[in-house]
Structure 1
Amino acid sequence: MASTTDSAPAPCKVVLAKNVANRLLAEVDEGVKTLEKPPHLVGFLANNDPAALMYAQWTDKTCQENGFRYSLRQIERDDIEEAILAANADPEVDGIIVYYPIFNNRQDQYLQQIVDVSKDVEGLSHRYIFNMYQNVRFLDPATKRQKSILPCTPLAVVKILEYLNIYNTILPHGNRLFGHTICVVNRSEVVGRPLAALLANDGACVYSVDITGVQKFTRGEGLNKRTHEVHDMEGWTIKDAAPLCDVVITGVPGESYKFDTSLLREGAVCVNFSSEKNFGPEVKQKASIFVPSIGKVTIVVLQRNLLRLIQNKRLDDVKPAAATERPGTLEADS
């Protein structure tokens, strides 16, 4: 019999991004070994965002540690268009990442579209975004040789949920989030909306929360639709959505924002992808699992995407990214 002085085990397990990243890095290493030369990633920084600079520095460090070349090009924003076009035409550049926001308007969307599809390591060009929302996994559906690229941060969240076994591998591929209700607090076009779509396409009921309201992403009752549909939840706020969810994912880029822990379902899984701390320390009293940041996973996903771009361009049967596609994962063949 335990003494009265024994304390109960902590209810919450804190999972650090590096634990997930290390597993993925082992897979990336296998892909790099099949290449004739190190993959070359070029990053364009045309803003004064400290978070973007930190992300670029992390990327540089991780690339050096894992056999990649990384070149950071800091330029004026008025020169960014020509710089991207030059990198598109440069045979020494394998992948391009642009750190947004730059103009913080539709011009940023234009810049996303001019990055060559064969070098778009972020998966933000129209072809990739269309495929993602339509639940199309290949650029060439008939032959299934060229895999579509998924946006880095949403895919990093997916890899974390796979690591946490939120994806149910007993269920058929493509349905493995069936039965989960997930709240995503952020509906940006770069991260929040794509993430809601990816999770819904894999079977979850997703409540997407933004300052403008709540939307529900779902493949319909009994997953009877091939791809997700979106419904506006009239009159709903986060207070209506969050208590229904067994997974809560936040990405609000404001220092003052804190998720209201009183809304949290007991034992929920909480993931923060913002550079800010969206959850206070009290989250550990209600959550079963808490992932406080995902940056290190995002950088590894970036490298995986670069390997896939190289694979897509090769005409032989060597597949340097094959080691990163474990059976049953989001990118594996259905």
Structure 2
Amino acid sequence: MQILDGKALAQQIETEIKSEVGVLSQKGITPGLAVILVGNDPASQSYVNMKAKACKRTGIYSITHEMPENIAQDSLLQTITMLNANPNIDGILVQLPLPKHIDTTAVLEAIAPHKDVDGFHPFNMGRIFANLAGFVPATPMGVLSLLKHYKIEIQGKNVVIVGASNIVGKPLGALFLNENATITLCHIYTQDLIAHTKNADILCVAVGKPNLITKEMVKQGAIVVDIGISKLPSGQIVGDVDFENVAPLCEFITPVPGGVGPMTIASLLQNTLKSAKLRANH
């Protein structure tokens, strides 16, 4: 059993980004990321802080627009319009989830596709499914980068993804399909989940339910990527996989924390850098 160390790889990626940011700054361009945070959800605040720190480490300019929970949708959209027009901002990221009274789709669609570093705009989503270049959502992108770094063969493998969200499950499925894997996408209405997971060469889980995947659900020699993250009442951070009991069966497995999480932030920075490079070449 080998650990897929996302933390170490993310540090390596950050070092590469930092040197590329240095090259761009000699041309007078500093990559810029704007984050919009609505309300005061502790998990969202923590993610935004981690993103800001990562920007600082790599030399990317970052600004956070903090907005009250009861902000009007129009005010939020006006801020996005302003950021779309700002030539110094390469990436715009709206921290999800948004409060109930705001139409998330309208907000995500308002972001200019060439600044959509989260890859959630239907334009970029469509390009993933068509296997064209664009911005790939950070978590799926991070998962693929991690598997490729460890030289894990994807072509021809049975990949089972548990959790079919627009943010992780669906785009991740498309990325695996583009790598010529066979995809099974499971969700809350899937009957007999174990029949699918037991057949997985590569099992990816993104639900946010602690210990959802037990050792009975995983075949010997599987590769398990745990994308879920939850905080137990004890304060312990855990994933969706019963790590202790599942790990001995696996060829490779990601830890939580230290697996996919750091890769998500590294991928977001890669997207921001990519957008800045496009600006530099215009």
- The TM-score bracket by the shorter chain reads 0.7 to 0.9
**2:163 and 2:150 mapped to 1: Cα distance?**
21
Task: Report the alpha carbon displacement of residue 193 of structure 1 after superposing the two structures with TM.
Answer: 0.6
Q: After the TM superposition, which residues 148-297 of structure 1 pair with which residues of structure 2 at under 5 Å, given as runs?
A: 148-167=134-153, 177-213=154-190, 236-255=191-210, 258-276=212-230, 277-280=239-242, 281-292=244-255, 293-297=259-263
| Cα RMSD for the two superposed structures | 1.9
Q: Once structures 1 and 2 are overlaid, which stretch shifts more, 277-286 or 202-211?
A: 277-286
2: CA distance between counterparts of 1:285 and 1:315? 49
Residues 217-241 of structure 1 show CA distances to partners (whole Å, capped at 9, x for unaligned) of xxxxxxxxxxxxxxxxxxx431111
- Please identify which structure carries the higher helix content: 2
Q: Which amino acid aligns with 2:160?
A: C
**Aligned partners of 1:89 and 1:252: how far apart in 2?**
36
Q: Distance in 1 between matches of 2:209 and 2:41?
A: 13
Partner-residue secondary structure (3-state), 2:65: strand
**Residue 185 of structure 1: how far off its partner (Å):** 0.8
Which of 71, 94, 107 in structure 2 is aligned with 1:98? 94
What is residue 235 of structure 2 aligned with on the other side?
A: none
Q: Secondary structure at the match of 1:34?
A: helix
Distance (whole Å) between structure 2 residues aligned to residue 50 and residue 15 of structure 1? 28
**Aligned pairs (5 A) from 1:80-91:** 80-91=76-87
Moved over 4 A (4+): none
Paired residue total: 263
After TM superposition, the score normalised by the length of structure 2 is: 0.87
- Deviations, residues 21-63 of structure 1 (Å, cap 9, x unaligned): 1232233123212212431211111144332222111111111
| Structure with bigger gyration radius | 1
Cα pair 2:208 2:228 within 8 Å, conserved: yes
Structure 1: runs of 5+ lacking an equivalent: 1-11, 138-147, 168-176, 214-235, 317-334
The whole-number CA distance in structure 1 between the counterparts of 2:31 and 2:281 is 17
Q: How much has 1:71 moved relative to structure 2?
A: 1.3
Alignment match, 1:75? 67
Identity of aligned residues (%): 23
Q: CA deviation at 1:98?
A: 0.7
Task: Give the deviation of 1:106 after TM superposition.
Answer: 8.5
Query: 1:27-42 alignment to 2 at 5 Å?
Result: 27-35=16-24, 36-42=28-34
Distance in 1, matches of 2:52 and 2:4, equals: 24
Check the 8 A contact 2:202/2:222 in 1, yes or no: yes
Is the contact between residue 247 and residue 253 of structure 2 (CA under 8 Å) also seen in structure 1? Answer: yes
- Name the amino acid aligned to 1:57: N
Q: Distance in 2 between matches of 1:203 and 1:86?
A: 40
The one-letter code of the counterpart of 1:290 is: I
Alignment partners' CA distance in 2, 1:180 and 1:27: 30
1:311 is aligned to 277
CA distance in 2, matches of 1:22, 1:31: 14
Instruction: Give 3-state SS (helix, strand or coil) of 2:198's partner.
Output: helix
SS of equivalent residue, structure 1 residue 212: coil
Letter paired with 2:186? V
Distance 2:101 2:222 in 1: 35
Q: 1:51 aligns with which of 30, 43, 51?
A: 43
Change (3 A) 1:185 1:47: farther
Using a 3 Å threshold, how does the CA distance of structure 1 residues 106 and 182 change in structure 2: closer, same or farther? Answer: farther
Indicate the residue corresponding to 1:112 in structure 2: 108
2:265 counterpart letter in structure 1: I
8 Å Cα contact 2:162/2:206 also seen in 1: yes
Residue identity matched to 1:178: Q
**Is the CA contact 2:213–2:240 (under 8 Å) kept in the aligned structure 1?**
yes
Matched, 1:16 2:5: yes
Equivalent position of 1:300 in the other structure: 266
> CA–CA distance in 2 between the matches of 1:105 and 1:263?
39
Alpha-carbon contact 1:248-1:270 (below 8 Å) kept: yes
SS in 1 for 2:245: helix
Report if the CA contact (8 A) 2:15-2:58 is conserved: no
* Contact 1:245-1:268 within 8 A present in 2 as well: yes
Q: Secondary structure at the match of 1:130?
A: helix
